[in-house]
Every structure is written in structure tokens, then in C-alpha cells.
Amino acid sequence: MGKKKREHFAEMKTFPCVFEPTNEQMTSGAHHMKGKWHEEFFKNDGPITLELGCGKGEYTIALAKKYPTQNFIGVDVKGARIWRGAKTADEDEMKNVAFLRTKIEFINTYFDKNEVDHIWLTFSDPQPKDKKGTKRITSNIFLERYRKFLKPDGVVHVKTDSDVLYEKTMEAIEEGNHQIIHNTDDLYVKDFDSFSPDMQEILNVKTFYEEKFLAVGKNIHYVSFRLSDVSNQA
Ligand SMILES: C[S@@+](CC[C@H](N)C(=O)[O-])C[C@H]1O[C@@H](n2cnc3c(N)ncnc32)[C@H](O)[C@@H]1O
């Protein structure tokens, strides 16, 4: 590990907004923050948004600045990436931001029923060889994990350059009978004007990976949806 990375990892331990559970805690099924984010960390009842696979946390930081009375948690397994967002949150004394270093497979360890209002999946790994959906974080296997903590009217937002991820996500939405709110296969060129000014500001946030994909001419897909209502089903 390089010197800079070591310094960043050491600095992360000093950031009050960063949670780095041990493997044992991650697999325990019940981290001590589960169901307690409002009461013990944010100290308010505002909505909570997760950015899963947040990398440097561009959406987490941008949304937290735009909505200071709401709460935002960036989740990623890679500490070196999380450091960037956490450093900004710390320097800017942002009280409505946390970062959680963990594998998304274990996300149910950290959040309880109805604890989360929105989920952003930003430029997620498409996992083209994952036929069963055990790795792709927009598959119905993952969406059913999210259902356990997302409010019934909660929204999942997917922004991606990847045709594979977009197509597989659309298949999962159809299979799961989830309800699409917005859907565009070419956000900036075809459909940007159809969004409200607030949503345009949000959708205009460019992540590290998005900048790279735009630079090589990729078009950006965006879909938002609510999970199907299973309350009436047997
Ligand atoms: C392509 S990058 C996108 C990062 C960032 N959202 C962006 O747009 O710049 C995908 C991110 O997801 C994270 N990731 C992938 N699979 C993950 C998993 N199972 N659990 C946690 N993080 C994961 C990676 O570490 C990486 O930072």
C-alpha cells in the first residue's frame, strides 16, 4: 500500500462521519446503528438517502449540500474512494452526511424497516457475467434486500453509462413489477428538459466515473422506480 493511501486510511479513522465495521460486525446481521441512524447519528427525523457503490461520494455530498435538512449515507467497500467524500464532509462540517465502508451484500445489517427514503445506484458495476443477479446491485436479489429497509413509497434511482446494466435493470423492474417513475436511455441528449429544475440540478451532478464515460462519448441512462407493492400478496 502506498504512503498516501496509508495516510488516508489513518485519517479516515479520525472522521466522525465514517463507519468502518469489522468483517464480524458486517456479517452479524445487526450492526449497532441498525434502526438508530436518526436518533444516534443525524439527531433529526429527516429522510435518509443511501448512495450504494458511492465511490468518492459525489451524489452523497451534492445532495447533502442541496438538502441540508435531509440525511445522506454513502456506502462503498473501497476506503480509498470513500476518503474523498468523507474529507469534504469533515472539512465542510456537514452534519447530514455519513459514509459506511461495507459490502452491499450485507446492507441489511445496517438498516431497519422503513429507515430509508431514497437509494441512488450511481454507475454501478454492470457484472455482465452475473446470470443469477447475485452480484449486480440492481438485480431483484438486491432489490428485495433494499425492500427490507426502504419505505413503501421510497424511490430507487439508477444512473449508468452501461447498456448491460440498464437493460438488466429494466428486466428486473419488469420481472419484479416495480413502478417506473422516470426512464431515459439518453438523459442529457434526449430527455433532460423534461425534468423539473430541481431534478435537472440533481441529475447534472457528475461522478468520477461519469466524467470518464462522458469523455469517451457514452450516453447516460437514468431510471427511477418504486418497488412493487407486495402488501396485498399472499
Ligand atoms: C464503477 S464504480 C462507481 C463509483 C461512483 N459511484 C462513481 O460513479 O464514480 C463502482 C463502485 O462500486 C463499489 N462496489 C462495487 N461492488 C460493491 C459491493 N458489492 N459492495 C460495496 N461496494 C461495491 C466499488 O468499490 C466502486 O467504488
Q: Could you tell me the pLDDT band of residue 121, with boundaries at 50, 70 and 90?
A: very high
Note if the pTM is more than 0.95: yes
Q: Hey, what amino acid is at 148?
A: K
In degrees to the nearest 10, what's the CA dihedral of 30, 31, 32, 36?
Answer: -80
Residue 106 has pLDDT above 60, yes or no: yes
Interval 85-98 mean pLDDT:
98
Interval 181-207 mean pLDDT:
97
Residue 165 has pLDDT above 60, yes or no: yes
Q: Ligand 1 within 6 A of 54 CB?
A: yes
Helix axes 79-91, 58-66, angle to 10 degrees: 20
Does residue 125 have an active-site annotation?
A: yes
Residue 131 has pLDDT above 70, yes or no: yes
Of 45, 92, 117, 125, which residue is the catalytic one?
A: 125
E strands in 107-230: 116-122, 150-160, 179-184, 221-226
- Nearest protein Cα to ligand 1, atom 12: 53
Residue 234 has pLDDT above 60, yes or no: no
Interval 211-221 mean pLDDT:
98
Phi, psi of 137 (to 5 degrees): -80, 5
Structure confidence at residue 224 (pLDDT): 98
Q: Ligand 1 within 6 A of 4 CB?
A: no
Q: Could you tell me the pLDDT band of residue 12, with boundaries at 50, 70 and 90?
A: very high
Interval 68-97 mean pLDDT:
98
Domains of the chain: 37-226 (3.40.50.150)
What digits encode the pLDDT tens for the residues 37-70? 999 999 999 999 999 999 999 999 999 999 999 9
Please, what is the average pLDDT of the chain?
97
Residue 233 has pLDDT above 80, yes or no: no
Residue 92 has pLDDT above 60, yes or no: yes
Structure confidence at residue 231 (pLDDT): 76
Taking the centre of ligand 1 as the mean of its atom positions, its distance from the CA of residue 53, in whole angstroms, is: 4
- Residue 160 half-sphere exposure, CB side, CA atoms within 13 Å? 25
Residue 206's nearest CA partner among 182, 222, 190, 223 is: 222
Residue 82 has pLDDT above 80, yes or no: yes
Alpha carbons 141 and 161: distance in angstroms, whole number: 22
Structure confidence at residue 230 (pLDDT): 86
Percent of the chain with pLDDT over 90: 97
